[in-house]
């Protein structure tokens, strides 16, 4: 009877979590062909497919869904044992700030994965409006923070660039010659400033009908058809349409998600977290380049 190779399980987990062979290969620093070969070897061992091809990506088969939680547990436990035995476990304390307004779900997944791989690091995570993170770094209240800016400074490492555009519900038309209802963020931040600058440059009447502290709130207002909003293209889906040109807006600046750190109390946890975030956003950039299609009218 054949055995399940832990290396094959690790490849399977990477592809399953990434949603495609290409992005899974990037996570484990292998070529796409080598990754595909390992998946075929795993399927040959099991005698059943673990994935079903779906568009440009893959989805788990029934066998894959049964295997995934076991494979995740096995690979995580092997990693933990190796760290303990080799005495190379990362230890210490790290205070991290992740934004509540954009990318919260993905960043929370990164933090959760980091905790699984580095259980001896004491993590203190602040999930809040990111406009205050730079000051928190200066004061030493945070060791590492992720936030958005229009132009990164020399000490800020850019993770992801998201073009912005004015968006409305795909089922609602707003006449260009009438006062335009707008949904904005209700706190001082880069997004609110960029939206107001764009509205003023358009030179036509507008009224703020909805304010929210989060991107999900702005999206909800736009989806409901009560307003237009300035959003990143990564937030678009089939129910939303870009209306920048239709309504006479000029181009708007891209949002740049950056990572910055203060002087660390301990370099080990900080370096490990930075590496985990960089690896995750390398996959994000690949995913974005493949799926940056949206409905334009």
**Pairwise CA distance, residues 244 & 236, whole Å:** 14
Residue 60 belongs to a domain: yes
Of the candidates 29, 63, 86, which is a domain's last residue? 86
Q: What is the DSSP letter of 246?
A: T
Q: What is the CATH number of the domain that holds 142?
A: 3.40.190.10
If asked whether residues 240 and 272 sit together in one domain, one would say no
Report how far Cα 69 is from the mean position of its chain's Cα atoms: 22
User: Where residue 244 falls among pLDDT bands split at 50, 70, 90?
Assistant: very high
If asked whether residues 82 and 14 sit together in one domain, one would say yes
Yes or no: say if 159 and 242 are a contact pair by the CB < 8 Å rule. no
Q: Strand 228-232 to strand 255-261: parallel, antiparallel, or no bridges (unpaired)?
A: unpaired
Yes or no: say if 127 and 104 are a contact pair by the CB < 8 Å rule. yes
Residue 297 belongs to a domain: no
Average pLDDT over residues 117-135: 85
**Pairwise CA distance, residues 112 & 296, whole Å:** 36
If asked whether residues 273 and 142 sit together in one domain, one would say yes
Of the candidates 86, 115, 140, which is a domain's last residue? 86
Which pLDDT score is estimated for 290? 42
Residue 197 belongs to a domain: yes
Tally the domains of the chain. Answer: 3
**For residue 98, what are the domain limits?**
92-155+261-291
Yes or no: say if 165 and 230 are a contact pair by the CB < 8 Å rule. yes
Residue 75 belongs to a domain: yes
Which pLDDT score is estimated for 185? 86
If asked whether residues 204 and 247 sit together in one domain, one would say yes
User: Where residue 227 falls among pLDDT bands split at 50, 70, 90?
Assistant: very high
If asked whether residues 268 and 144 sit together in one domain, one would say yes
If asked whether residues 241 and 201 sit together in one domain, one would say yes
- Neighbouring residues of 149: CB distance < 8 A, sequence distance ≥ 6: 156, 190, 256, 258
**Pairwise CA distance, residues 61 & 42, whole Å:** 13
User: Where residue 204 falls among pLDDT bands split at 50, 70, 90?
Assistant: very high
Which pLDDT score is estimated for 1? 55
Which pLDDT score is estimated for 264? 66
Give the tens place of pLDDT for each residue, 48-64: 999 998 877 899 999 99
If asked whether residues 273 and 148 sit together in one domain, one would say yes
Residue 296 belongs to a domain: no
Residue 17 belongs to a domain: yes
Q: What is the CATH number of the domain that holds 32?
A: 1.10.10.10
Residue 194 scores a pLDDT above 80: yes
Element (H, E) at 282: helix 267-291
Yes or no: say if 194 and 164 are a contact pair by the CB < 8 Å rule. yes
Cα R_g (the chain), whole angstroms: 22
With 0-12 CB in 10 A as exposed, 13-18 as middle and 19+ as buried, what is 272?
Answer: middle
Residue 275 belongs to a domain: yes
If asked whether residues 66 and 107 sit together in one domain, one would say no
If asked whether residues 196 and 64 sit together in one domain, one would say no
If asked whether residues 151 and 265 sit together in one domain, one would say yes
Number of H helices, E strands in the chain: 9, 12
Average pLDDT over residues 211-224: 89
If asked whether residues 79 and 105 sit together in one domain, one would say no
Residue 1 belongs to a domain: no
| Cα separations in angstroms, 66 against 20, 36, 218, 272 | 18, 20, 38, 31
Q: Strand 51-54 to strand 57-60: parallel, antiparallel, or no bridges (unpaired)?
A: antiparallel
If asked whether residues 127 and 206 sit together in one domain, one would say no
């Amino acid at each position: 009877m054949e055995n399940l190779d832990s290396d094959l399980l690790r490849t399977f987990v990477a592809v399953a979590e990434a949603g495609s062979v290409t992005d899974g290969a990037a996570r484990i620093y292998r070529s796409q062909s080598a990754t595909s070969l390992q998946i075929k070897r795993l399927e040959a061992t099991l005698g059943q497919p673990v994935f079903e091809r779906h568009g440009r990506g893959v989805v788990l088969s029934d066998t894959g869904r049964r295997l995934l939680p076991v494979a995740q547990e096995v690979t995580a436990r092997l990693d933990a044992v190796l760290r303990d035995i080799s005495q190379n476990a990362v230890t210490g304390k790290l205070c991290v700030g992740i934004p509540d307004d954009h990318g919260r779900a993905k960043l929370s997944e990164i933090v959760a994965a980091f905790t699984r791989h580095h259980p001896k690091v004491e993590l203190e995570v602040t999930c809040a409006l990111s406009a205050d993170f730079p000051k928190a770094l200066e004061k030493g209240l945070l060791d590492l923070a992720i936030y958005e800016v229009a132009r990164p400074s020399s000490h800020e490492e850019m993770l992801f660039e998201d073009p912005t555009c004015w968006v409305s519900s795909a089922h609602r038309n707003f006449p260009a010659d009438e006062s335009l209802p707008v949904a904005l963020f209700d706190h001082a931040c880069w997004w609110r400033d960029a939206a107001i600058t764009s509205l003023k440059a358009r030179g036509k009447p507008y009224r703020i009908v909805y304010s929210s502290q989060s991107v999900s709130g702005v999206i909800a207002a736009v989806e409901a058809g009560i307003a237009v909003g300035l959003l990143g293209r990564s937030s678009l889906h089939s129910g939303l349409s870009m209306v920048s040109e239709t309504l006479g807006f000029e181009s708007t600046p891209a949002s740049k998600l950056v990572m910055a750190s203060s002087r660390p109390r301990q370099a080990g946890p900080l370096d490990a977290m930075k590496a985990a975030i960089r690896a995750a956003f390398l996959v994000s950039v690949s995913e974005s380049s493949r799926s940056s299609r949206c409905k334009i009218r």
